[in-house]
Structure 1
Amino acid sequence: MRIVVVGGGKVGYYLTKTLLEHGHEPHLVETDREACTRIADELDVPVICGDGSMIDVLESAGAKGADALIAVTGRDQDNLVSCQLAKKVFQVERTVARINNPKNAAVMKQLGVDIPISSTDNIARLLEREVDTAAIKQLMPLARGEASLSELQIPPKYRLNGITLSELRLPEESVIVSVSRDGRLIIPRGNTQIFSGDKILVVCANSAVRELSRKMGIETEDKK
């Protein structure tokens, strides 16, 4: 997925590196020219040198058509503006803003930022869950936030229509709890088939959510 990262400091650099390693297509925006050159050479990603709170710069960074924008500069105000422009001008579905002052979290949320957060690790984890696996909706955190109870919506024209759970070879860190189909509750077994429109209740470790999405064939469907 194409993800615009605004801010090329330590947070932005390592976040971009992580996204690249996870198969995403990050585009980085940074104001410092030396940092732009260094990051472009080290990570081999598109780097736009400019102010990420400007419309023309975001447009050059590929905000139009991007799946998400993550603003991680050292200024909360700039991060807010970048996220607002992404939403209002470029219709970016998901925005994430780094918060340097925790008191700004509620304001950020009220002003339209989808995910205001203050930890680099949490940004990467939430991105995996909220963007890359958009078909998986978290219902309840478990095990002190290390796992979650989630609902997985099987999309129309599901390419694995009719496949059984045993054939999917799901990650060991996941357990299918139930399958809902046409108002009926199905207790899953190995020979239970999965069809378009099914809603699946699953317990999964956060570290295995992306693999679960891939095994279920949802990730590919979302990216088409």
Structure 2
Amino acid sequence: MRAVIAGAGAVGASVARELHAHGHEVVVFEIRPDAARKADVGGAKLVLGDACDLALLERCGAMEADVLVAATGDDRANLVCSLLARSEFGVGRTVARVNNPLNDWLFDESWGVDVAVSTPSIMTALVEEAVETGDLVRLLRLEAGGTALSEFRVPAEHWLAGRRVGTVSWPQDAPLVAVVRDGAPRHATADEVLEAGDELFFLAAAAAETALRRLLVGEDRAQARPGAGSSSAAGRRPSSSPGAGALTDQASQSPRA
């Protein structure tokens, strides 16, 4: 696999080292000379320059890349890199770092982003997953935000306890993919009888998430906590086309990578 990484800071350099150690061909771009001098990218190729420079990307083989990782500390740069990789070079897979969770709604397919990774959102989801019972927690957004992996822990005396999976009218586009009981995964077959304490994992399309939440937690709690486990901006996502809305500037105050 050929990978292009924008940003040789702590995140980009770590990804570069791991990918190269796994036998992949990796090119890392870093626009800051001081950061480039300090960067430890292992055996990956390090290029001093702007990953948003079309000519530079082409010279360094972006046309043959299988994946681009936009890992700078600037959300603007990560969006532009992703869009260029998809629209100009036809890169098959783009992964972009989200520095400010308020910008999360921008990182979707209209900007060429396949997978958006937001560390604050992931940490929030993991904390909620560890302590919440009886609420639907979004753990991970997949495929440009169109699908999310969500978890629901069945509380005591919940109506699901004692019900067979096949007797529940699950929302369309929100399949139950696994049940974890006492730390052991189980197939979510139609005959599986659910118990209190079970952890249910769903792959839910964005359009089906609200219906799934209403089914599991009830109308009142669903309205009180839309999009649990995600950033607040994701629950009120505006139209996300290039140039739409305001990109929150907090991320640009941090280092570029």
Question: What is the TM-score normalised by the length of structure 1?
Answer: 0.52
Give the C-alpha shift of residue 3 in structure 1. Answer: 0.7
| Cα 1:72/1:116, change in 2 over 3 Å | same
| Structure 1 residue 112 displacement after superposition | 2.6
Q: Is residue 65 from structure 1 mapped to residue 58 from structure 2 by the alignment?
A: no
Runs of 4+ with >3 A deviation? 37-40, 138-144, 173-177
In 1, the alpha carbon distance for the partners of 2:31 and 2:73 equals 12
Contact 2:9 2:39 in 1 (8 A): no
RMSD: 3.3
* CA drift at 1:32: 2.0
1:66: Cα distance to partner? 0.4
The 3 A distance-change label for structure 1 pair 139 and 7 is closer
The verdict on how the C-alpha distance between 1:141 and 1:3 changes in structure 2, with shifts beyond 3 A counting, is farther
Residues 181-216 of structure 1 show CA distances to partners (whole Å, capped at 9, x for unaligned) of xxxxxxxxxxxxxxxxxxxxxxxxxxxxxxxxxxxx
Once the two structures are superposed, the pairs formed by residues 75-94 of structure 1 within 5 Å of their partners are 75-94=74-93
Q: Distance in 2 between matches of 1:175 and 1:24?
A: 34
The answer to whether the 8 A contact 2:94-2:114 is kept is yes
Residue ranges of structure 2 left out of the alignment (5+ in a row): 123-139, 154-175, 179-183, 189-257
Q: Which has the larger radius of gyration?
A: 2
Amino acid at match of 1:68: V
Q: Find the aligned partners of 1:54 and 1:72 in 2 and give their Cα distance.
A: 16
Query: Which residue does 2:115 correspond to in 1?
Result: 115
The question of whether the paired residues in 1 share the 8 Å contact of 2:82 and 2:111 is answered with: no
Q: Give matches, 1:164-179, under 5 Å.
A: none
Summarize deviations over 1:129-188 as a string: whole Å, max 9, x none. Answer: 98xxxxxxx9967799xxx959xxxxxxxxxxxxxxxxxxxxxx99999xxxxxxxxxxx
Amino acid across the alignment from 1:81: V
2:194 paired residue number: none
* Whole-angstrom CA distance in 2 between matches of 1:63 and 1:176: 41
Q: What secondary structure is seen at the aligned counterpart in 2 of 1:64?
A: helix
Higher relative contact order (CA 8 A, sep 6+): 2
Determine the structure 1 residue equivalent to 2:218.
none
Deviation for aligned residue 1:44 = 2.3
Aligned residues: 139
1:55-106 CA-partner distances (Å, limit 9, x unpaired): 1122233211100001111110111000100001100011111111112122
